[in-house]
C-alpha cells in the first residue's frame, strides 16, 4: 500500500486541526482587539472568552484528543507492514466522523448529535485497533 494512500486521511485530519487552530486564534485575537476580552482575564486559561471563541477552541482541542490514537495506529500499522485496505477505508470513515463532529461543534453544537457522531468515530477507531491487534497477533482478519 502506498504512502499517499495510507496517509491521505491523516493529512486531512491534520488540515482540520490546523484550520480550527487558526480559526480559534483569529476569533480570540479579534475578541482582544475589540475589548470584549482583557488579556489579564484569560492569561491563566480562565474561561473568560466569548461563547463563540470557546465553541471554536473546544472544537480545536477535541481534535487533539481521540485523533492521537488514530495517528499512532496509522503510523505503527504502516511501519509494521500491517496496514490493510480495510484499515484505510476505516481511516477515511474515522476522519469523516471527525469532520462532521467539528462541523456540528462550530455550528449548531447540538450535544446529542455531536455525541453520536463522536461515539461513531470512537467505535470506528476501536474497531481499527482490534483489527490491527488481530492481524499482529494472529496474522489475519
pLDDT of 41 reads 85
pLDDT of 45 reads 79
**Residue 23 scores a pLDDT above 70:** yes
Say if residues 13 and 99 touch (Cβ distance below 8 Å). no
Q: Which of 79, 76, 70 is nearest to 9 (CA)?
A: 70
pLDDT of 8 reads 98
Q: How far apart are CA 74 and CA 129, in angstroms?
A: 10
Cα 10 to chain centroid, rounded: 10
Q: Rounded mean pLDDT of 114-121?
A: 98
**Residue 141 scores a pLDDT above 60:** no
Identify the CATH assignment for 3-138 out of 1.10.10, 1.10.760, 3.20.20, 1.20.120.
Answer: 1.20.120
pLDDT tens readout for residues 65-77: 999 999 999 999 9
pLDDT of 40 reads 85
Give the residue extent of every domain in the chain.
3-138
pLDDT tens readout for residues 47-95: 889 999 999 999 999 999 999 999 999 999 999 999 999 999 999 999 9
Percent of the chain with pLDDT over 90: 88
Q: Rounded mean pLDDT of 12-25?
A: 98
Q: Which residues contact 1 (CB under 8 A, 6 or more apart)?
A: 78, 83, 84, 85, 88
pLDDT of 42 reads 86
pTM reported for the whole predicted model: 0.94
Amino acid at each position: 500500500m502506498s504512502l499517499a494512500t495510507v496517509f491521505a486521511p491523516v493529512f486531512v485530519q491534520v488540515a482540520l486541526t490546523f484550520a480550527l487552530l487558526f480559526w480559534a486564534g483569529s476569533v480570540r485575537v479579534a475578541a482582544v482587539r475589540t475589548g470584549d476580552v482583557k488579556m489579564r482575564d484569560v492569561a491563566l486559561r480562565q474561561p473568560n472568552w466569548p461563547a463563540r471563541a470557546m465553541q471554536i477552541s473546544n472544537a480545536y482541542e477535541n481534535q487533539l484528543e481521540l485523533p492521537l490514537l488514530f495517528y499512532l495506529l496509522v503510523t505503527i500499522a504502516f511501519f509494521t507492514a500491517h496496514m490493510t485496505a480495510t484499515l484505510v477505508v476505516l481511516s477515511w470513515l474515522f476522519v469523516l466522523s471527525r469532520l462532521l463532529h467539528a462541523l456540528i461543534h462550530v455550528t449548531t453544537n447540538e450535544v446529542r448529535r455531536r455525541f453520536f457522531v463522536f461515539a461513531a468515530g470512537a467505535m470506528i477507531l476501536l474497531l481499527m485497533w482490534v483489527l490491527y491487534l488481530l492481524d499482529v497477533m494472529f496474522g489475519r482478519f
